[in-house]
Structure 1
């Protein structure tokens, strides 16, 4: 078995390869086969399978979730569902899945090897997902794997799946029962193998699939109707002998179209060669285009040695909001785990000397950053976070010293000054220290300099964040006492209350800071832990945890 540290310590030469490879595979902290994208609220949610670190064959127990607003920096949300989400599944076989949104609900269709297609339902894309049926949605043969679902413009939902045949069926409006009989794809496409993905563009329907095992590429057909007949077109991507499988996932995002897939390149880089091909697969992403007639020009395979360029960043990255440390474009050495700090979520762990995290396209603005906070915990002597610009050995903008905190989940916030950082850069957070594990890392945040060169935000010169005291938090109201710096005393603020899934549940806007005692009406809000963010315009100036009783 590969130890935890070895798993994602890439060969050193990869640090100096082209930037495009630094974005494929998308995730370096886990093996992520069968990626299935869903776009919701200007965010790409990427649901993946999970090849276990020690997998030699298909060893898959759960499903992972990552999200991105720019397609290059991905936030790890951990395990979103597992075989334990069902009462009727075996101990292995969490195969390909897809999540779709309809009528305020999220439906997660999964294939359980040898047991059929199941469905889980949640109120949020982050879960929690539960099984509404207590049994498979259907099981009509061992070929029932790799479901994909389209909710058409008229509201009718269709599901496609299967290996080596492709089947389809209508779903009822409840999305958890089938409507009518199961049919086979007619005619059978000559390269179809498994892993179908249904996609609609304008008035045309596209069915893509993993083609002609093995190796598998991505083939596709087109139709004027979701029920066919389907006309085979070509390959979107040819297979490559360096990878057995593939899995398309076509989606539109902010004016362009992309497809996911997977390769073994992460595993090959870890073992230092290609002699052993275990089922340790990793999600990749590529951009696709369309000819005037709607057909898709062929794109290169994701790449070996000189890989295809990673997709361009969509927009830029804001460093002045609280950023989860597990938001990563590229990393060396680190892993992630469930976090017990206020707010839960995930944190970065397995940090050793020389490891780092890269965040791409961070926009510090014309006036730049003044200071930096990091939320950290250490059961040892800690270490440092070196803040480098553009490369892992680039200009040093600041250094955070992390001391021991008495435990891996005993969290403190540490700060440092930042100098000479303006404009848009790749950000490298490099970890240094002695031998062994250094510390865990939960979140980070920069603070900007305003146009007159003074510090903005709820922050004192000594680096301590000015607090907002939660006097009382109940299911009916939150009483707030504000401690606001003079700089913002005449500004209007917005108070947004989010649940831990990131959903906005309450808001107050146009609040003048001269009012130091406020009441937020939370009638009807369930008890639990929430995040309260205070905004000055579009800039988040304070984040605080609120526990509603």
Structure 2
């Protein structure tokens, strides 16, 4: 199969399609970028999202597009809507956590698909949702189950974070496909949605959409269970777009902040585009405010195989 490579200098990094809600995985000297796919035609101000996209790069500017490895309706229990996701690898298996609309339970739900390859195909081996609205502590918000984020801690314990309006978290079993604790809440100032969790050294970081229109803010803790200390704004309003969803990765000795805006022609809140800029840390572990640029990031030398 011939895969098309897009050499993009500057932001947005994907320009032949609208892309949104980025998540990324570093595996075998390669960055795998997974995005949502906005398909609303110009003039339609509503979310039209049916599948997710997958790209890979060894240098952060040459992005190879892979065939769409997953669609919302690949989950037999879902009625559609390909919202934000998270992909993580454990013991050579790739787990893709998604938010979709449930076909028979009111509200949104979180599912998980599995593959032996980072580019898929992915399959819903559970055959049912991991989290449904009726599992939550009382919440009248039908969008409460959005935007999953996953962390596997240093001791091997996995956690899932998610939410819209309220941030939730729970432990995952070793099989990565079942909850292993009660669902708990975290109080985060201005929390809207779009959570990303990562760990660096002794610090845990929760980054998320803050307010509406969404900036990105973050909190820090030395324990996965908190208390979480709010550390302020990480990223200002992205251009021409009401929402944002951060993703933070380390690759070849540098930190990257991945997000979306509405910068392409006819773009906007329902026709978004993924961008990448550099992320820097202060000596005390706090993160410096991200400088969004049109130049984006530079090509890095391809690592030796």
By the TM > 0.5 criterion, same fold?
yes
Structure 2 residue aligned with 1:115? 108
Match 2:21 to one of 3, 28, 34: 34
Distance in 1 (alpha carbons) for counterparts of 2:255 and 2:54: 21
Match 1:56 to one of 38, 45, 53: 45
- Check if 1:129 corresponds to 2:117: no
Structure 1 residue aligned with 2:164? 163
Aligned partners of 1:43 and 1:68 also within 8 Å: yes
TM-aligned CA distance change 1:291 to 1:112, over 3 Å? same
Aligned partners of 2:238 and 2:261 also within 8 Å: no
Aligned partners of 2:49 and 2:81 also within 8 Å: yes
Aligned partners of 1:89 and 1:115 also within 8 Å: no
Instruction: Give, in angstroms, the shift of residue 107 of structure 1.
Output: 0.4
Structure 1 residue matching 2:73: 3-state secondary structure: helix
Instruction: Give, in angstroms, the shift of residue 317 of structure 1.
Output: 9.8
Alignment of 1:120-519 (within 5 A): 120-140=113-133, 142=142, 143-185=144-186, 188-214=187-213, 216-240=214-238, 242-266=240-264, 270-271=265-266, 277=268, 279-300=270-291, 302=292, 307-315=293-301
Instruction: Give, in angstroms, the shift of residue 100 of structure 1.
Output: 0.3
Instruction: Give, in angstroms, the shift of residue 76 of structure 1.
Output: 0.4
Aligned partners of 2:220 and 2:230 also within 8 Å: yes
Instruction: Give, in angstroms, the shift of residue 210 of structure 1.
Output: 1.1
Instruction: Give, in angstroms, the shift of residue 65 of structure 1.
Output: 0.2
Extract structure 1 runs of 4+ deviating beyond 3 A. none
Aligned partners of 2:40 and 2:270 also within 8 Å: no
Distance in 1 (alpha carbons) for counterparts of 2:18 and 2:55: 12
- Check if 1:95 corresponds to 2:83: yes
- Provide structure 2 residue ranges, at least 5 long, that are not aligned to the other structure: 1-6, 102-106, 137-141
- Provide structure 1 residue ranges, at least 5 long, that are not aligned to the other structure: 1-18, 319-537, 539-549
Bigger radius of gyration: 1
Instruction: Give, in angstroms, the shift of residue 240 of structure 1.
Output: 4.5
Instruction: Give, in angstroms, the shift of residue 84 of structure 1.
Output: 2.6
TM-aligned CA distance change 1:317 to 1:174, over 3 Å? closer
Indicate the RMSD between aligned Cα atoms, in angstroms.
Answer: 1.9
Structure 2 residue matching 1:84: 3-state secondary structure: helix
TM-score (norm 2): 0.89
Aligned partners of 2:12 and 2:294 also within 8 Å: no
- Check if 1:67 corresponds to 2:56: yes
Distance in 2 (alpha carbons) for counterparts of 1:317 and 1:24: 23
TM-score (norm 1): 0.50
Instruction: Give, in angstroms, the shift of residue 23 of structure 1.
Output: 2.1
Instruction: Give, in angstroms, the shift of residue 22 of structure 1.
Output: 3.5
- What is the total number of aligned residue pairs between the two structures? 284
Instruction: Give, in angstroms, the shift of residue 227 of structure 1.
Output: 1.3
